[in-house]
């Protein structure tokens, strides 16, 4: 992977990125009031950050259990592949209509992706199809069921603590499907592609009025189908290293579990915490400025929680291929946005 040229951020850029991570649908005027800039300047800086590749995308976070799905995480360690074959596998997964999140990494596994499925049978069909095509190139496959996830604000961007907190999000562990109108699904699809997409543009794509889009989004926010609108920065172009940690836990009590959660929630570099069922009980995502900073965080984790950490795996993220909480939308049949 060719290293990207690093984008130089000043403090105002960092504050804008942080506000976009708090709520990516904030207007330039709202952000401007919080960071002390005119709305035109904020709009210009956001455009520049996108043009320079510092921002990968804006995405909406959904409780997909309320859409009838369970989210499964698949971890693959490859074998007998050359660059061309690995790229072929990457493209197959990247283009699959049920893949919600997909990354390449270095460490215990090579590819990690989330699959949305309405049942274990549907998941089995998806994995069997993949196995029939590429099973001979997979040395190891693990499957996890995602239970309860939390996204935290990226406080490392501004270098100080924030009062911003987000509610935990369920990924199928509390199935309570909410009945939606047929026009709600493509709205979810468009916000998954670009969470800052203007109402007028969404309305044009969906074929309803902007007022209708506004009302339907508010309804889905109130029903907690839509939880947040977040930023996906390009960590490499900003000079950061991004890691995913997988933990197998034991001797777990509620008090110890809560203390580990609070460690993650309050740490400025940790932006994702997720409980799972399977080989690994917990996954954590974090961004750091150097390998030394990463080693320091790992040292603190292993020291403070040695009584409950049974085993862990470290994955360094090299590329994020897909990040779309709702790659499917239903309008008589299941289809793919874009």
For the chain (338 residues), the mean pLDDT of every run of 10, in chain order, is 66 95 96 96 96 93 90 97 96 95 97 95 97 97 94 90 68 72 91 95 95 96 92 91 97 95 94 95 97 97 96 96 84 34
Q: Where are the beta strands (DSSP E) in the chain?
A: 55-62, 70-78, 99-107, 111-117, 138-151, 169-170, 226-233, 241-249, 270-277, 282-288, 309-323, 328-330, 334-336
State the first-to-last Cα distance of the chain, in angstroms, to the nearest integer: 27
DSSP-derived letter for residue 280 is -
Taking alpha carbons only, the member of 317, 308, 265 closest to residue 288 is 317
Taking alpha carbons only, the member of 109, 126, 110, 137 closest to residue 72 is 126
pLDDT at residue 328 in the model: 82
> By the 8 A CB rule, do 78 and 110 touch?
yes
Angle, nearest 10°, between helix axes 28-35 and 11-22? 130
Tokens of 302: 């292993």
Backbone angles phi, psi at 203, to 5 degrees: -60, -40
Cα–Cα dist 126/132, whole Å:
10
Cα–Cα dist 281/264, whole Å:
15
> By the 8 A CB rule, do 148 and 272 touch?
no
pLDDT at residue 182 in the model: 86
Cα–Cα dist 51/238, whole Å:
13
> How many Cβ atoms from other residues are within 10 Å of residue 219's Cβ?
15
- DSSP, collapsed to helix, strand or coil, labels residue 131 as helix
pLDDT at residue 84 in the model: 97
| Helices then strands, each counted (H, E), the chain | 10, 13
Cα–Cα dist 29/20, whole Å:
12
Let me know if 179 is exposed, middle or buried by CB neighbors in 10 A (0-12, 13-18, 19+). Answer: exposed
Which residue carries 């390009």 as its tokens? Answer: 234
Tokens of 279: 């080989």
Enumerate long-range contacts of 217-222, CB under 8 Å, 24 or more apart: 217/187, 217/191, 219/184, 220/180, 220/184, 220/187, 220/188
């Amino acid at each position: 992977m060719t290293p990207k040229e690093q984008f130089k951020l000043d403090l105002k850029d960092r504050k804008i990125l942080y506000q976009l991570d708090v709520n990516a649908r904030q207007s330039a005027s709202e952000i401007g009031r919080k960071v002390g800039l005119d709305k035109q300047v904020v709009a210009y800086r956001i455009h520049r950050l996108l043009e320079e590749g510092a921002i990968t995308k804006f995405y909406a976070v959904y409780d997909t259990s309320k859409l009838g799905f369970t989210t499964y995480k698949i971890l693959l360690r490859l074998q007998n592949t050359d660059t061309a074959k690995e790229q072929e596998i990457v493209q197959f997964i990247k283009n699959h209509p049920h893949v919600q999140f997909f990354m390449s990494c270095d460490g215990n596994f090579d590819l990690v992706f989330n699959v949305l499925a309405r049942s274990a049978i549907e998941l089995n069909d998806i994995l069997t199809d993949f196995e029939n095509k590429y099973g001979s190139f997979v040395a190891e496959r693990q499957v996890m069921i995602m239970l309860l996830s939390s996204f935290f604000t990226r406080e490392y961007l501004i270098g100080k603590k924030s009062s911003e907190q987000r509610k935990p999000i369920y990924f199928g562990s509390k199935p309570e499907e909410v009945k939606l109108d047929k026009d709600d699904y493509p709205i979810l699809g468009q916000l998954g592609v670009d969470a800052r997409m203007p109402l007028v543009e969404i309305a044009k794509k969906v074929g309803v009025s902007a007022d209708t889009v506004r009302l339907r989004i508010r309804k889905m926010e109130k029903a907690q189908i839509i939880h947040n609108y977040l930023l996906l920065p390009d960590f490499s172009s900003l000079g950061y290293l991004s890691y995913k940690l997988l933990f197998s836990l034991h001797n777990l009590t509620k008090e110890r579990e809560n203390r580990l959660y609070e460690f993650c929630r309050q740490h400025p570099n940790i932006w994702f915490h997720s409980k799972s069922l399977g080989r690994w009980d917990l996954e954590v995502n974090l961004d750091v400025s150097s390998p030394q900073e990463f080693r320091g965080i790992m040292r603190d984790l292993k020291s403070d929680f040695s009584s409950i950490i049974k085993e862990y795996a470290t994955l360094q993220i090299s590329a994020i291929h897909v990040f779309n909480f709702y790659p499917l939308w239903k309008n008589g049949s299941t289809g793919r946005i874009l």
